[in-house]
Amino acid sequence: MRRPERSVLATPGSDWHMIEKAVASPADLVFLDMEDAVAASEKAKSRAVVAHAFTNLDWGRKPKTYRINALDTPYFYRDLIDVIEASAGLVDLVIVPKVNRAEDVYVVETLLAAIEGAHRIARPIGLQVQIETAQGLLNCERIATASARIESIVFGPGDFAASIRMPVASIGAPDAWDADYPGHRYHDAMSRILVSGRAAGIRVIDGPYADFRDRDGLAASCRRARALGFDGKWCIHPGQIEVVNAQFTPTAAEIAWAEKIVSAANAAEGTGRGAADVEGTMIDGASVRMARVTLEQADRA
């Protein structure tokens, strides 16, 4: 998990101009979307565009990533075969939407292994799996551990809301319906996905915030996700990257406090004590582990 994944920018896999801008953006990860962002009439054509982007653009340290169509569509298998074969083994990461069962991951993994074997691709292609349905949430624990290829698990609030028939006016953003519910309506889903990801040792990423002009609302959404323990958030517009990166990066005050805790714990250990007092707060082994998480996050960022 050394690579940061605070901001994950989605860009249509059929629009070359937008792809060029996205790849050059400061997002930690950029993915070329062949699912929701591409019309049905353009899906087959977009495969060549995506492959061309992998072979001809400078991605820097960003992993070459794209999202295929869901397994229950007639597009998904050719999305894998055509793009990976045309990209000469350059694909690093494939995003799989609407994963409902661990068996879905097995299908993708099996097809990837066959492609890699046929083309002598030595490094296994990674996976990012999306939990976007009621069935996916029920099975998220098994999904998260379904393959060693899985690097991240992602919450998809829009399709999830549709799946459970939750009335929503804007994906990821608060609306009038929130006033009728005494709490955060996605809390249970996000918590389950978070725990599943952490138990599997993978990153956990929150879904997008559709109102891309609402920077304050986006920041608040990021803070809620980070407060739960999420690593980052999807962006649907380049203008969201700065806000998301800032919110998922530990502040100078957080880093300073974490350093104090680690320093005090080291000093206490040198005298045979397991606990210490830092500015009136008692710390112990759990405090140190939390502090080290903060420092690791800052180091990755």
**Matching residue, tokens 């050059």:** 24
- pTM value is 0.91
Q: What is the pLDDT of residue 274?
A: 66
Q: What is the pLDDT of residue 151?
A: 97
Q: Would you say residue 277 has pLDDT above 60?
A: yes
Average pLDDT over residues 218-236: 96
Assigned token pair, 155? 């919450």
**Matching residue, tokens 């998480």:** 293
- Helix 43-56 × helix 76-86 angle, to 10°: 30
Q: What is the pLDDT of residue 13?
A: 97
Average pLDDT over residues 187-193: 97
Neighbouring C-alpha atoms within 13 Å toward the C-beta of 94: 26
Give the lowest-confidence range in 32-36, 168-172, 277-281. 277-281
Q: What is the 3-class SS of 96-148, one letter each residue?
A: ECCCCCHHHHHHHHHHHHHHHHHCCCCCCCEEEEEECCHHHHHCHHHHHCCCC
Cα-based distances in Å from 1 to 80, 90, 197, 301: 24, 20, 12, 12
Q: What is the pLDDT of residue 114?
A: 97
CB 152 within 8 A of CB 193: no
- On average, the pLDDT of the chain sits at 92
Average pLDDT over residues 153-161: 96
Q: Where do the domains of the chain lie?
A: 7-247, 252-300
- Reported as a pLDDT band with limits 50, 70 and 90, residue 189 is very high
pLDDT digit string, tens, across residues 44-73:
999 999 999 999 999 999 999 999 999 999
Class of domain 7-247: alpha beta
Give the lowest-confidence range in 77-81, 147-151, 173-177. 173-177
- Reported as a pLDDT band with limits 50, 70 and 90, residue 178 is confident
Q: What is the pLDDT of residue 110?
A: 98
d(CA 67, CA 298): 28
Q: What is the pLDDT of residue 240?
A: 98
- Reported as a pLDDT band with limits 50, 70 and 90, residue 1 is low
Q: What is the pLDDT of residue 79?
A: 98
CB 17 within 8 A of CB 238: no
Give the lowest-confidence range in 4-8, 39-43, 294-298. 294-298
Average pLDDT over residues 222-242: 97
- Helix 285-300 × helix 252-270 angle, to 10°: 140
Q: In this predicted model, which residue has the larger pLDDT, 2 or 151?
A: 151
Average pLDDT over residues 276-292: 79
